[in-house]
């Protein structure tokens, strides 16, 4: 690999334009599309969008924004097929919201959508935090950041708690170096890498205010609201179903009570807290069944979370 000269912008290898003979299947298939239905049919994004609807509970506004972005991209395809525009649309995004509101999950779906529409070659997602990009010593940051960018090329780079990159209190913070490299790549290789910044809304707002260059390159801001208690209960059903478990009679009511209590406690993290609570309920269920070694447990018993598996939680004792 040759080092770019000082004056040259950073360029991460592996990005488009495609090498001679290399044809992106997604791009090739939509190249002759003249109708929205052509692009939808050939890219098969409808299935990703409907999975998004059915797999993810709530998030109405987020789902609508994603449909809007998909519509924009489909129309962009039709326009470019008729030679109407030159530069690819800016797709860098910011996902703001509290912990466990689905930001990482939705970002992975976004990567799939972008891939199916041919906006990124591979459609994978690389999730990082400050420590993956910023070194501890002078000279360490650029190679670390470039290594991550190389891995993410052709897909989505998801930077969690992105505001930690910027530490105004440290005059010589190496985070600034990572930000500058990111800015260049976000601008020059935006046809092959989409960056999604994620984190708490207020801190992200401050981050963008202090980094206007970054802010101007982020085209889509999606806000992830906290879930309602009723949504968290449906999320619990989904998580259990995925793991081939279910709530027994009254256990679901007990879990609804659990959610109401847990939501008022510190460090409540939306759907993540629900997932963690169900992991612990499964542990208690296993101990309960384990305690009776001679009994032959049925399929139903092995897959049912019962009231004591829920009520055994510390959350009820503290209440």
Ligand X SMILES: Nc1ncnc2c1ncn2[C@@H]1O[C@H](COP(=O)(O)OP(=O)(O)O)[C@@H](O)[C@H]1O
CA 195 to chain centre: 11
| Smallest separation, CB 96 to Mg ion (Å) | 12
- DSSP string of 137-182? STTSHHHHHHHHHHHHTTSEEEEETGGGG--TTSTT-THHHHHHHH
CA 312 to chain centre: 33
Q: Which does 199 bind (CB under 5 to 8 A by kind): Mg ion, ligand X, none?
A: none
Structure tokens at 99: 């912990």
**Residue 212 CB partners (closer than 8 Å, separation 6+):** none
Give yes or no for residue 156 binding ligand X (CB under 6 A). Answer: no
String marking each residue 122-141 x if it binds Mg ion according to CB under 5 A: --------------------
Q: Which does 162 bind (CB under 5 to 8 A by kind): ligand X, Mg ion, none?
A: none
Q: Which does 133 bind (CB under 5 to 8 A by kind): Mg ion, ligand X, none?
A: none
Residues 227, 235: Cα–Cα separation, whole Å: 10
| Smallest separation, CB 20 to ligand X (Å) | 40
Residues within window 103-132 making contact with ligand X, judged by CB under 6 A: 103-105
Q: Which of residues 174 and 258 has its CB atom nearest to ligand X in the complex? A: 258
| Smallest separation, CB 270 to ligand X (Å) | 7
Chosen residue from 39, 66, 100, 193 binding ligand X by CB under 6 A: 100
Q: Which of residues 27 and 104 has its CB atom nearest to Mg ion in the complex? A: 104
Structure tokens at 70: 């998909």
Give yes or no for residue 199 binding ligand X (CB under 6 A). Answer: no
Residues within window 28-67 making contact with ligand X, judged by CB under 6 A: 56-59
Q: Which does 189 bind (CB under 5 to 8 A by kind): Mg ion, ligand X, none?
A: none
String marking each residue 95-124 x if it binds Mg ion according to CB under 5 A: ---------x--------------------
Identify which range of 7-15, 34-42, 163-171, 268-276 contacts ligand X by CB under 6 A.
Answer: 268-276
**Residue 294 CB partners (closer than 8 Å, separation 6+):** none
Q: Which of residues 247 and 268 has its CB atom nearest to Mg ion in the complex? A: 268
Structure tokens at 9: 């912008």
| 218 touches 69 (CB < 8 A) | no
Give yes or no for residue 154 binding ligand X (CB under 6 A). Answer: no
Structure tokens at 279: 């992991």
Identify which range of 82-90, 95-103, 173-181, 299-307 contacts ligand X by CB under 6 A.
Answer: 95-103
Chosen residue from 65, 122, 167, 272 binding ligand X by CB under 6 A: 272
Q: Which of residues 70 and 236 has its CB atom nearest to ligand X in the complex? A: 236
- DSSP string of 219-282? -EEEEEPPPPHHHHHHHHHHHHHHTT-EE-TTHHHHHHHHHHHHHTSTT--HHHHHHHHHHHHH
Burial 218-234, CB ≥16 within 10 A → b, else e: bebbbebbbbeeebbbe
Question: Where do we find the tokens 């976000």?
Answer: 186
Give me the residues that bind Mg ion (CB under 5 A), please: 104
Residues that bind ligand X (CB under 6 A): 56-59, 97, 99-105, 235, 238, 271-272, 275
């Amino acid at each position: 690999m040759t080092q770019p000269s000082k004056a040259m912008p950073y360029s991460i290898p592996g990005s488009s334009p495609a090498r001679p003979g290399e044809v992106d299947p997604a791009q090739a298939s939509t190249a002759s599309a003249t109708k929205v239905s052509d692009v939808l049919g050939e890219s098969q994004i409808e299935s990703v969008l409907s999975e998004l609807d059915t797999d993810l509970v709530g998030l109405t506004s987020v789902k609508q924004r994603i449909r809007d972005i998909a519509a924009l991209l489909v129309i962009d395809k039709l326009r470019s097929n008729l030679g109407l525009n030159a530069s690819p649309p800016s797709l860098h995004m910011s996902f703001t919201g509290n912990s466990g509101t689905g930001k990482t999950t939705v970002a992975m779906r976004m990567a799939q959508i972008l891939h199916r529409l041919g906006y990124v070659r591979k459609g994978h997602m690389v999730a990082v935090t400050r420590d993956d990009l910023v070194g501890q010593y002078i000279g360490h940051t650029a190679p670390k950041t470039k290594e991550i960018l190389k891995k993410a090329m052709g897909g989505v780079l998801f930077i969690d708690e992105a505001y930690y990159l910027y530490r105004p209190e440290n005059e010589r913070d190496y985070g600034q170096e990572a930000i500058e490299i990111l800015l260049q790549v976000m601008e020059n290789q935006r046809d092959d890498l989409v960056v999604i910044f994620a984190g708490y809304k207020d801190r992200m707002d401050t981050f963008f205010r202090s980094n206007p260059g970054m802010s101007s390159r982020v085209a889509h801001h999606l806000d992830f609201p906290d879930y309602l208690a009723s949504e968290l209960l449906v999320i619990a059903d989904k998580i259990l179903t995925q793991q081939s478990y279910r709530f027994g009679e009254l256990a679901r009511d007990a879990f609804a009570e659990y959610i109401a209590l847990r939501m008022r406690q510190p460090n409540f993290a939306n759907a993540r807290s629900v997932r963690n609570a169900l992991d612990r309920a499964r542990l208690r269920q296993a101990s309960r069944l384990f305690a009776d070694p001679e009994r032959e447990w049925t399929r139903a018993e092995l897959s049912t979370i019962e009231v004591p598996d829920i009520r055994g939680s510390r959350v009820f004792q503290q209440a």
